[in-house]
C-alpha cells in the first residue's frame, strides 16, 4: 500500500497530474495546464492507479468522473500540494543569504584558504587582489585582510600576523646551487626573484644582514610577492617568502629556506570587518580567523 512506502518514493508527479485531472475532469485540459501531451497524462494516471490498486476515474466518451477511491484521496492530495506551495512561498520571502566575501592580498590567500578549509560555519567567497588595502565605502566586501604598517594601522583593524621574510626556493634549485653550503655573503650573486621593481624587499633584507651595501644585479621582476613565490616554487630562483604564509610548502618540502636569518618587518597582515555590517555570519567568520591565527 502507498502508506507503507518511504516518503522519498511517493509518486509526487503522478499525484499532481491526478489533482489537475480531477479539477478539470478532463485529461485534455490537464495536459494543457501541465504543458504535456494527453497521452502523457493518461499514462501517469494509469501508473498511479496501478500503484494504488484502485481506479481513480470512470472514463466516459466525452468526460471523466471520479471513483469513490478518487473522492477519498483527492482532499489529502489537494491539502498536501497546497502546503508544499505555501512552503515554497515562505522560502521566497526570506532574504537571500550570500556568501561572506573576503578581500585578501594575493600573497596572503594561501594563509587564508588553509584556515577556511576547517571552517564549516558559513559559505565564504575569497577574492585575491593586488591591492593591499580596503575602502568599504566603495567596495562591497564583508571582510578584508589588509597589509598595513604597524605605525599606521587602519582603525578597528585586528592584527593576524607580523610580516617576516626569509629566502626560499625549490629543493632542486637549492641542490643545483649548493645553497646549504653557502654563506649569506654569497647570496647576492645568485638568481634572485623580486616582488617589485624597486627590489625593496631584498634591499631591506640585505641591509639587515649584510655588512656591505647590496647593489642590485638584475634578477627577474614580478608584480607581487605571490608571483615571485610561485616562480620560486617552479625553480626559477630565490624569492623572499613569509614563513607564516608558506608554512605548508616549507613543511611539505615543496620549498626550502637555506639561509637562517628571518627579517621581521614593520608591516603586518590584519583583519577588518565592514563597520556597518549586521550579518551574524561576518562575526562568526571573523572570530574563527582570529582564533586560528596562532595555529600553523
Domain 100-161+268-292 is classified in which CATH homologous superfamily?
Periplasmic binding protein-like II (3.40.190.10)
The C-alpha cell that represents 247 in the structure block: 608554512
* pLDDT, mean of residues 140-156: 92
Residues of the chain with CATH 1.10.10.10: 9-92
Q: What is the DSSP letter of 164?
A: E
> Domain 163-265, what architecture?
3-Layer(aba) Sandwich (3.40)
**Beta-sheet pairing, 143-149 with 100-105:** parallel
The whole-number pLDDT of residue 97 equals 63
> How many CB atoms neighbour CB 227 within 10 A?
18
**pLDDT tens track for 224-262:** 888 888 899 999 999 999 999 999 999 999 999 999 899
Segment (H or E) for 72:
helix 68-92
The whole-number pLDDT of residue 96 equals 57
CB distance 191 to 235 below 8 Å = no
Domain 9-92 matching CATH 1.10.3720.10: the answer reads: no
**pLDDT tens track for 27-82:** 889 888 888 888 888 999 999 999 999 999 998 877 889 999 999 999 999 999 89
The C-alpha cell that represents 177 in the structure block: 646551487
Residues of the chain with CATH 3.40.190.10: 100-161+268-292, 163-265
**pLDDT tens track for 79-118:** 998 998 888 777 766 655 678 899 999 889 888 988 888 7
CB distance 169 to 258 below 8 Å = yes
Residue 211 clears pLDDT 70, i.e. is over it: yes
Amino acid at each position: 500500500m502507498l502508506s507503507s512506502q518511504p516518503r522519498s518514493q511517493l509518486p509526487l508527479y503522478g499525484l499532481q497530474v491526478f489533482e489537475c485531472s480531477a479539477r478539470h475532469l478532463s485529461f485534455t485540459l490537464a495536459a494543457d495546464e501541465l504543458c504535456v501531451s494527453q497521452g502523457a497524462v493518461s499514462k501517469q494516471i494509469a501508473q498511479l492507479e496501478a500503484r494504488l490498486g484502485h481506479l481513480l476515474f470512470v472514463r466516459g466518451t466525452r468526460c471523466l468522473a471520479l471513483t469513490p477511491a478518487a473522492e477519498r484521496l483527492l482532499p489529502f492530495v489537494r491539502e498536501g500540494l497546497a502546503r508544499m506551495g505555501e512552503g515554497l512561498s515562505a522560502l521566497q520571502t526570506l532574504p537571500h543569504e550570500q556568501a561572506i566575501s573576503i578581500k585578501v592580498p594575493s600573497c596572503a590567500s594561501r594563509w587564508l584558504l588553509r584556515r577556511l578549509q576547517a571552517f564549516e560555519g558559513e559559505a565564504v567567497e575569497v577574492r585575491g587582489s593586488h591591492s593591499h588595502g580596503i575602502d568599504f565605502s566603495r567596495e562591497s566586501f564583508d571582510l578584508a585582510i589588509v597589509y598595513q604598517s604597524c605605525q599606521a594601522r587602519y582603525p578597528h583593524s585586528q592584527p593576524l600576523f607580523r610580516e617576516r621574510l626569509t629566502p626560499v626556493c625549490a629543493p632542486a634549485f637549492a641542490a643545483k646551487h649548493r645553497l646549504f653550503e653557502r654563506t649569506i655573503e654569497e647570496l647576492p650573486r645568485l638568481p634572485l626573484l623580486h616582488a617589485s621593481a624597486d627590489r625593496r624587499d631584498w634591499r631591506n633584507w640585505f641591509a639587515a644582514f649584510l655588512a656591505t651595501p647590496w647593489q642590485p644585479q638584475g634578477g627577474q621582476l614580478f608584480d607581487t610577492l605571490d608571483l615571485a613565490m610561485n616562480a620560486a616554487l617552479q625553480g626559477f630562483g630565490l624569492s623572499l617568502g613569509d614563513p607564516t604564509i608558506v608554512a605548508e610548502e616549507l613543511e611539505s618540502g615543496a620549498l626550502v629556506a637555506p639561509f637562517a636569518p628571518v627579517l621581521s618587518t614593520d608591516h603586518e597582515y590584519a583583519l577588518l570587518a565592514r563597520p556597518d555590517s549586521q550579518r551574524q555570519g561576518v562575526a562568526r567568520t571573523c572570530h574563527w580567523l582570529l582564533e586560528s591565527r596562532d595555529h600553523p
